[in-house]
Amino acid sequence: MASPTGTSDAPFGRMLTAMVTPFTADGSVDVDGVQRLAAYLVDEQGNDGLVVSGTTGESPTTGDAEKETILRAVLEAVGDRATVVAGAGTNDTRHSVELARAAERAGAHGLLLVTPYYNRPPQEGLYRHFTTVADATGLPVMLYDIPARAGVPIATETLLRLAAHPRIVAVKDAKGDLFAGSQVMASSDLVYYSGDDALNLPWLSVGAAGVVSVVGHVVGSELASMINLYRAGDVEGARSVHRRLLPVVTGIMTRTQGVIMAKAALALKGRPAGPVRAPLVDATAEQVALLREELVAGGVKLAD
């Protein structure tokens, strides 16, 4: 299935949010909430793409059947007007292949493949893992380079090897090495997306096509505006948006785990979120009070 918003220079769109998975009070997937949240993110928050079952979607604690349910719900809600990218990365190549094929059958527009975590494979292992999963479907692939979680980076040389694969087309970068990313972009056709909200504008400045955001749950329209301003040559305008959103990034991304605060922020806006799953824990009253102040400081309108 073709991506509704992709182009050759931005194959998954430009403003994507790594979507949380709403749960009910008893901890089960809130399918209606998933669909309402997806529609809100696309129709009201300016997202032209969504990543489902990524880190922020609590993929480590959702089962395979739940992942398929979530993906199908999002596709039904917004799949005709936003690119829907399915997280299919695990630290088991065979399992990742299974998830990738299930996502393709469900109608996903693309795959997000995180670096295999915990087992710390060598670079040759990373290369074989990513190419094996990319070979398993006809879907375009966005690699997710996040050594703080995975324990190992995808080396520049490995990224350049992977760029030769016809379906590996993009990188979500949470490594934060703008120079290394610049080298990859200069020497290959890989498209970069910022995977760190603190570095969204810096990544755009060195050639990233867009962002895969967490704060996009509540300031997606502002981030889309920043991307458009920068692409139009209004660097000062983009910088102004970047600075205005600093309190929001601080509140959601720096105090504890991002999904915890993203769900707390959505609750403050009266949007579907629900609790997190163990071993995560919900935000404390003190954390929520500080978050409220920072969201207001960043211009976010909260529920009455």
- Which sequence positions are flagged as catalytic? 144, 172
Tokens of 94: 């065979």
- Among residues 38, 25, 26, 118, the alpha carbon closest in space to that of 72 is found at 38
The neighbouring-strand residues paired with 143 are 113, 171
- Parallel, antiparallel or unpaired: strands 168-173 and 141-145: parallel
DSSP string, the chain: ---SS-BTTBBTBSEEEE----B-TTSSB-HHHHHHHHHHHHHTS--SEEEESSTTTTGGGS-HHHHHHHHHHHHHHHTTTSEEEEE---S-HHHHHHHHHHHHHHT-SEEEEEPPPSS---HHHHHHHHHHHHHTSSS-EEEEE-HHHHSS---HHHHHHHTTSTTEEEEEE-S--HHHHHHHHHHS-PEEEE--GGGHHHHHHTT--EEEESTHHHHHHHHHHHHHHHHTT-HHHHHHHHHHTHHHHHHHHSSS-HHHHHHHHHHHTT-S--PPPTTS-PPPHHHHHHHHHHHHHTTPPPP-
